Amino acid sequence: MRQPTPDVVAHRGASAHRAEHTRGAYELALEQGADALECDIRVSRDGHLVCVHDRRIDRTSSGRGVVSELTVAAMSEVDFGGWHQEPPRSADDLVRGPAAEPEHGVLLLDELLGLLRDNSRPVRLFIETKHPVRYGGLVERKLVALLARHGLATPADRENSPVLMMSFAQSAVRRFHEAAPGVPTVLLFDRFRGPLRSGVLPPWADLAGPGIRLLREDPGFVARAAALGRDTYCWTVDDPADIELCARSGVRFVATNAPASTRFHLAESGLVQFGSVTAK
């Protein structure tokens, strides 16, 4: 039975209000009632899985350099939070500027999994592996090994797996599925190629992951995928009209930079009961 409204996924945490991929962004997302979190991962020079979107840390930190050439120790000296300036919430903030919060050190995926383990309610995690990268398929191998250490690589119930893996790289999704077939996978895409438009996914991909632009152009895609037994994860959904489009179309998961306002808009639109923790 399909749920009536989307689950709200905090894209890189509550990244509209805190610096992306920081502990503060994810803690705020949990406070805002996100049903799930999303992160991007790369491999550091010393072999750790770190939560960074870009190939370099220049945009999202006070440092510089390529992630695969930096150790975690080197990145521990860098501020990953101070660069982000939240829009002013008052006249006083407008005059003096809101204070950005420093967060020294890159966030490890191991830490993020620990945060979810210790959370008071179950919250899922969507993990995107980035490609192309220097280490190729090493990121998927390390991800499977880390999930196994946390007891997450072989969930008893795939439908309610605490973790889902996703990537734009078809080879990465296939590689991960072969190593951990019990963990659901999402194939991300920003344009329709081959049979995708009809809702047909490769056998190693469980969910379709179109960008919101594709659904604006072709909202019927969600129903076509659902008719073939495939749910849809849509990114990145912040605009109220897009939120309503996803809800009307039957999208299962919406990735948003502002989970609180997305949930509030669903409630205001009568699409979900705001008083509940999960958007169902």
The mean per-residue pLDDT over the stretch 28-57 comes to 98
Question: What are the sequence ranges of the domains in the chain?
Answer: 7-55+106-269
Q: What pLDDT score does 271 carry?
A: 67
Q: Between the CA of residue 159 and those of 170, 207, 230, what are the distances in Å?
A: 22, 11, 12
Pick from 156-160, 184-188, 221-225: least confident: 156-160
Q: What pLDDT score does 85 carry?
A: 72
Asked whether residue 139 carries a pLDDT value surpassing 50, the answer given is yes
Question: Which CATH superfamily does the domain covering 7-55+106-269 fall into?
Answer: Phosphatidylinositol (PI) phosphodiesterase (3.20.20.190)
Asked whether residue 95 carries a pLDDT value surpassing 60, the answer given is no
Give the pLDDT band (50/70/90) at residue 30. very high
Asked whether residue 101 carries a pLDDT value surpassing 80, the answer given is no
What is the overall mean pLDDT for the chain? Answer: 91
Q: What pLDDT score does 231 carry?
A: 98
The mean per-residue pLDDT over the stretch 151-155 comes to 98
pLDDT tens digits for range 1-26: 456 789 999 999 999 999 999 999 99
Q: What pLDDT score does 91 carry?
A: 44
Give the pLDDT band (50/70/90) at residue 86. low
Q: How many residues does the chain have?
A: 280
The mean per-residue pLDDT over the stretch 90-98 comes to 42
Give the pLDDT band (50/70/90) at residue 92. very low
Q: Between the CA of residue 205 and those of 11, 116, 178, 184, 194, what are the distances in Å?
A: 20, 24, 11, 8, 15
* Non-local CB neighbours of 156 within 8 Å, separated by 6+ positions: none
Q: What pLDDT score does 168 carry?
A: 98
List residues with catalytic annotation: 11, 53
pLDDT tens digits for range 105-132: 999 999 999 999 999 999 999 999 999 9
pTM for the complete prediction? 0.92
Q: What pLDDT score does 268 carry?
A: 84
Asked whether residue 143 carries a pLDDT value surpassing 60, the answer given is yes
The mean per-residue pLDDT over the stretch 63-84 comes to 96
SS (H, E, C) the chain: CCCCCCEEEEECCCCCCCCCCCHHHHHHHHHCCCCEEEEEEEECCCCCEEECCCCECCCCCCCCCEHHHCCHHHHCCCECCCCCCCCCCCHHHHHHCCCCCCCECCCEHHHHHHHHHCCCCCCEEEEEECCCCCCCCHHHHHHHHHHHHCCCCCCCCHHHCCEEEEECCHHHHHHHHHHCCCCCEEEEECCCCHHHHHCCCCCCCCEEEEEHHHHHHCCCHHHHHHHCCCCEEEECCCCHHHHHHHHHHCCCEEEECCHHHHHHHHHHCCCCCCCCCCCC
Residue that is written with structure tokens 């951990």 in the block: 180
Give the pLDDT band (50/70/90) at residue 280. very low
Q: Which two tokens stand for residue 240?
A: 């109220």
Give the pLDDT band (50/70/90) at residue 87. low
